[in-house]
């Protein structure tokens, strides 16, 4: 039987901006409750080395976000039959959910209808499986280097990280990263179905959020929100 990481996979990446800053130059952490979606990409691939189908919604200054998030949610519903790879899934999916609520008065769950997403987060998977890794090296670029994922070649002198600044190449890299991670940890992952792995990630993430430092590396961002991969709406 073909393992899941050699089969059909989809990948989602979003880009966002922070609506305001308390003062010029102040550092503001990403916040999916308030950030504004500016661009997104959803890619699908039937198998390794097969053509990659790309759906993208580019950043359009001063254009309303409503049509973008609605189109993205429709495409996600159509891709829900495939495992969905999302790096830092709680941020991307929560941001999409909040934008849908703001612009369409509907949640992401409602837009998916009877379908449910089966999410694979390479950052969470690496944190669980690669205990010896440096916690500071868990950005997408770092993980691609660690797992041998080839990024698009840049003929100019700009940093390689620029390859991942747009959502399309970042989505493709995330998909390839999950395939590479699956191969490296095949003894632990090959026997699991994507739904079973989705459920395990939710358990792992909740344990991190509850401060189980004996088993997991610290994850400060998760401590307030144990739900995964979508944060619940907190009433004001």
Q: List pLDDT tens digits, range 68-105.
A: 888 999 999 999 999 999 999 999 999 999 999 999 99
Domain ranges of the chain: 4-17+32-152+160-222
Q: List pLDDT tens digits, range 114-165.
A: 899 999 999 999 999 998 777 777 789 999 999 999 886 655 544 555 667 8
Q: List pLDDT tens digits, range 35-70.
A: 999 999 999 999 999 999 999 998 766 666 778 888
What interhelical angle do 167-184 and 122-129 show, nearest 10? 30
Instruction: Name residues whose C-beta falls within 8 Å of residue 49's C-beta, 6 or more positions apart in sequence.
Output: none
- Cβ burial of 190 (10 Å; 0-12, 13-18, 19+) is middle
Check pLDDT > 90 for residue 22. Answer: no
Cα–Cα dist 95/88, whole Å: 11
Cα–Cα dist 171/175, whole Å: 6
- Determine the topology of domain 4-17+32-152+160-222 in CATH: Nucleotidyltransferase; domain 5 (3.30.420)
High-pLDDT (> 70) share of the chain, %? 82
The two structure tokens encoding residue 171: 């989505």
- Cβ burial of 77 (10 Å; 0-12, 13-18, 19+) is middle
Alpha helices for 121-218 (secondary structure H) = 122-129, 140-146, 167-184, 186-189, 194-209
pLDDT of res. 155: 54
Q: List pLDDT tens digits, range 162-185.
A: 667 889 999 999 999 999 999 999
* pLDDT band at residue 27 under the 50/70/90 scheme: low
Contact indicator for 84, 118 with CB cutoff of 8 Å: yes
pLDDT of res. 97: 96
């Amino acid at each position: 039987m073909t393992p899941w990481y050699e089969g059909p996979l989809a990948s989602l990446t979003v880009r966002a901006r922070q609506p305001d800053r308390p003062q010029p130059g102040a550092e503001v952490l990403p916040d999916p409750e308030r950030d504004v979606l500016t661009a997104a990409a959803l890619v699908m691939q039937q198998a390794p080395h097969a053509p990659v189908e790309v759906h993208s919604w580019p950043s359009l200054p001063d254009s309303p976000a409503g049509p973008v998030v609605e189109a993205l949610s429709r495409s996600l519903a159509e891709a829900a039959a495939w495992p969905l790879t999302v790096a830092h899934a709680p941020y991307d999916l929560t941001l999409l959910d909040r934008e849908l609520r703001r612009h369409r008065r509907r949640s992401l769950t409602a837009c998916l209808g009877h379908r449910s997403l089966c999410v694979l987060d390479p950052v969470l998977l690496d944190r669980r499986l690669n205990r010896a890794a440096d916690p500071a090296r868990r950005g997408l670029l770092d993980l691609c280097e660690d797992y041998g994922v080839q990024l698009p070649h840049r003929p100019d002198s700009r940093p390689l990280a620029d390859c991942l600044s747009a959502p399309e190449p970042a989505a493709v890299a995330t998909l390839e990263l999950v395939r590479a991670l699956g191969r490296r940890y095949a003894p632990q992952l090959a026997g699991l179905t994507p739904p079973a792995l989705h459920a395990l990630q939710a358990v792992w993430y909740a344990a991190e959020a509850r401060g189980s430092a004996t088993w997991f590396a610290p994850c400060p961002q998760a401590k307030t929100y144990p739900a995964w991969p979508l944060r619940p709406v907190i009433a004001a």
